[in-house]
Structure 1
Amino acid sequence: MVAPQTDSTRIPVVIYARKSTDAKLEQKINSISVQCASARSYIESQQHAGWYALDEELMDNNISGATMERPGIKRLKQLILEDKVRIVIVNRLDRISRSLSQFLELMTFFEAHGVSLVSVTQNINTSTPMGRLMIQIIMGFSEFERELICERVTERMHAARKNGQFLGGRPVLGYNIKPEGRALEIDELEAIRVREIFSMYIKQRSVKTVALELRNRGWKNKRWITREGKVTGGSDFTVSTLHNLLKNLIYIGKVTLKDEIFEGQHEGIVNSDIFDRANTILSGNDLTKGNRNRNSHDALLKGLLTCKACGTAFVHTGTKKKSGKG
């Protein structure tokens, strides 16, 4: 006759499931519902050992396994700290994490609180030495797979950039993203403003002055609607945002990846000569920023004197005599 189980012999088990944001890493068998159903069946098969499932099931949907900053993981730790869990059950180990270091850190937390991890499809239980060894081997391969995928993605991005493709992200003033995506088209009304901004800067030679003028005119940064329908952008120009606009190579039909520059597939908005003139002035102004307090008159001719041959702005420098006086 089997002795009836008491509260002291019953083992609380919590189910954890995760579905990644990367469709290439996911299959239908990895859906949240399938993972949970598989875990429930496994727990039922272990009722003779005292296992019982908590009513609460922890799920992280569309969240990468490369990060541990997930609501489900945070809740899992809380349940463990409250001493409500003895076993965590997952469909596969990579549902917990695809990073070996992060996974082992979590396992240390489990062990410190007397919690075991069970993988349904891999038949692994960390309460045994063999189970702990197998986990490290499998997670090592899982991390290797993730790094290979990241490497391939980086290679594809580099190839796309070399081909001049727009890789997505936020559009800039003067361009819209084509409906089919991954390509830019000129917004003619905004393009007129972009050209005017470059012209204003070449005349004024001051980012701060032009930014103030743009605010007085009511001109804003790029405003767009995300795929989720959220309106973003459309803020006033600041010195920083205007500086970035003037230096953006996208306006002369280029694309960049890190420090590399490639010919873009999109049409430029600003003439290369205009762009170069603006950036020559911009570079000259940047060089003089550190010299503003070198004399009491703060370089009164700054921005007014240029080289007649090339148009480059003259910059001022200070000298120091041996006596220590300027």
Structure 2
Amino acid sequence: MKQVRCAIYTRKSSDEGLEQSFNSLDAQREACGAYILSQASEGWTALPDIYDDGGLSGGTLERPALKRLLAEVAAGRVDIIVVYKVDRLTRSLFDFAKLVETFDAAGTSFVSVTQSFNTTTSMGRLTLNMLLSFAQFEREVTAERIRDKIAASKARGMWMGGTPPLGYAPNDRTLTIVDEHATLIRHLFARYLALGSVRLLQEELAGQGITVPARVSIAGKPLGGGSFTRGQLYGILKNVIYRGQIGHKDKVYPGLHPAIIDEETFSATQAMLADHLQGHRGRVNATETSLLAGKIVDDRGEPLIATHACKGKVRHRYYVSRALHHGGSDTGLRVPARELESLVTERLATLLADPLRLATAMSLTVTPHLLNALPARCTTLSVELGERRPSLVASVVTRVEVGAGEIGVTVHLPALAAALGVEQPVAGPDTIVLACAARLTRSGRTLRLVHDNGVLTRAVADKSLVRLVAQARRWWQVLRVGEIAVAELARREGVTASYATRVLRLAFLSPAVTEAILAGRQRAGVTGGSLTVEGAISPDWKAQATALLAAS
């Protein structure tokens, strides 16, 4: 008799009671084991490995034991997956469809020991979908209850968990003041009102060696320890908690915790921030804005600041390491702003180009209506990103880390969900990090962003190179008539004969290479100087494409 290898999978949404010697997971496993034993005459045998996910929601597939089980399925080492109920495997119709596809590809089936249905028939599949629909409905109702409870609790001024702001420590459903940190908070507000600028406040703190106090979160994660960033200072100065209030979405309620900043100081701070913001908006309308200002750091976490330089009437924008910008160091990053912004925008557009993959990353509940509407919403948002709307990019992208080998873009998923007009589950992730395969190529003190295939991230034609190609073709038109030699042409143009000969070779570039140069899509480092070096251009068009064009 053929042996049928059975794997038992168990799951419990909360970790309540898991510390008991015989818990819910044990009960599920025992019931599944008894069912497998009853099918011994069919060759069913339970595998010894245990696949338990305790305290994990069925609304996501990001579960350690489930991942191990799926790896075994893919390797062909499991014939049947046995669960106590179908909702132990998943509570999402969308995730269930993905699991069934994975099981079918590996020739694996699954059995629920308390629910009898046959998925080979249309009625069996209908029954299963109905069961999963109710499971998904139960999860959504639970999420709504949690949201309502949080809103009601905050309306009563309660602290509902999370990382407390600097200056406070959690105390049940309220906050208590940490005197040492509260003194620093009062100092920040006072100095901002005296200086009138967050930038000057940040520079003063850095000059005095004042850093963010080191703390440890409730989960044991270390916090603080580095220099204050402008974003952190803005967040502190705007936080209503310091006034003794609790904010929830667009509403503010009196809090149960004591205030650190008095009403007069806090109101004066908000008025000054508002005045400066209005002035900033006026300047933005006049010049091109830096979309990623305040969000860019290097691979050591040091921020890059937005700056610009004017050459004639042309304004060149950069993101520059603070120490390099202020003259405190000769090393650091100077990244062309337009190239980096184009790279980030294109990566976001790539994310939006696959709506189903995006829905999975955001843990969205995919309904038939959303399946029809999501692609159109993604397309609309891609168009808005192409228009480089500052408010949209600022709300979706929270951090850009520029490393030596790649660019990491952190996307705030609740903001992206709001931009798409969809509701993200409470248990869904807050952020994802998109990796951009690009490397940094130094040209003097400036870094250029180049894709792994060798092409620049921002296709901008090299005007001097385009002029050189045009000059080569113009010279060749003169020479091909046969009335003048190269030496005479060189004398007439005021160049040496050898230089004229090297330039003339550009007239014989392949059409593909010529089109790439006109569009700015040639390989990084291909310039007029590199192409006029002796022996730089092969007469073979295939060799030219290999040397001068980016890899496909």
Normalising by structure 1, we get a TM-score of: 0.79
User: SS of the residue aligned with 2:11?
Assistant: strand
Residues 222, 136 of structure 1: CA spacing in aligned structure 2 closer, same or farther, 3 A cutoff? farther
Q: Report the counterpart of residue 17 of structure 1 in structure 2.
A: 10
Q: Report the counterpart of residue 246 of structure 2 in structure 1.
A: 255
**Alpha-carbon separation, structure 2, partners of 1:81 and 1:52:** 19
Matched, 1:115 2:119: no
Q: Report the counterpart of residue 269 of structure 1 in structure 2.
A: 260
Residues 156, 29 of structure 1: CA spacing in aligned structure 2 closer, same or farther, 3 A cutoff? farther
Alignment of 1:281-296 (within 5 A): 281-289=272-280, 291=283
Q: Report the counterpart of residue 133 of structure 2 in structure 1.
A: 140
**Alpha-carbon separation, structure 2, partners of 1:67 and 1:104:** 13
**Which among 130, 133, 151 is matched to residue 158 of structure 1?**
151
Per-residue deviation, residues 32-58 of structure 1 (Å, max 9, x unmatched): 222222222211111101111222232
Native 8 Å contact 1:19 1:62 kept in 2: yes
Moved more, 48-57 or 228-237: 228-237
Residues 167, 28 of structure 1: CA spacing in aligned structure 2 closer, same or farther, 3 A cutoff? farther
Residues 126, 58 of structure 1: CA spacing in aligned structure 2 closer, same or farther, 3 A cutoff? farther
Alignment of 1:43-192 (within 5 A): 43-124=36-117, 126=119, 130-178=123-171, 181-192=172-183
Q: Which runs of 5+ in 1 are unaligned?
A: 296-326
Per-residue deviation, residues 278-303 of structure 1 (Å, max 9, x unmatched): 122222223333517959xxxxxxxx
Q: Which runs of 5+ in 2 are unaligned?
A: 288-552
Native 8 Å contact 1:13 1:89 kept in 2: yes
Q: Report the counterpart of residue 194 of structure 1 in structure 2.
A: 185
Give identity over the alignment, percent.
Answer: 36
Per-residue deviation, residues 284-323 of structure 1 (Å, max 9, x unmatched): 223333517959xxxxxxxxxxxxxxxxxxxxxxxxxxxx
Amino acid at match of 1:196: H
Amino acid at match of 2:242: Y
**Alpha-carbon separation, structure 2, partners of 1:137 and 1:101:** 13
Residues 64, 108 of structure 1: CA spacing in aligned structure 2 closer, same or farther, 3 A cutoff? same
Q: How much does 1:163 deviate?
A: 0.6
Residues 167, 111 of structure 1: CA spacing in aligned structure 2 closer, same or farther, 3 A cutoff? same
Residues 84, 59 of structure 1: CA spacing in aligned structure 2 closer, same or farther, 3 A cutoff? same
Native 8 Å contact 2:163 2:218 kept in 1: no
Moved more, 279-288 or 193-202: 279-288
Q: Which has the higher contact order (CA 8 A, sep 6+)?
A: 1
**Alpha-carbon separation, structure 2, partners of 1:131 and 1:120:** 15
**Which among 219, 236, 244 is matched to residue 210 of structure 2?**
219
**Alpha-carbon separation, structure 1, partners of 2:51 and 2:168:** 43
Native 8 Å contact 1:100 1:143 kept in 2: yes
User: SS of the residue aligned with 1:67?
Assistant: coil
RMSD of aligned Cα (Å): 2.5
Moved more, 75-84 or 282-291: 282-291
Q: How much does 1:200 deviate?
A: 0.2
Q: How much does 1:68 deviate?
A: 0.6
**Alpha-carbon separation, structure 2, partners of 1:243 and 1:169:** 20
Amino acid at match of 2:73: I
User: SS of the residue aligned with 2:110?
Assistant: strand
Moved more, 11-20 or 43-52: 11-20
Amino acid at match of 2:113: V
Per-residue deviation, residues 100-129 of structure 1 (Å, max 9, x unmatched): 221232123223333211112224454565
Q: How much does 1:23 deviate?
A: 4.3
User: SS of the residue aligned with 2:223?
Assistant: strand
Count of residues paired in the alignment: 284
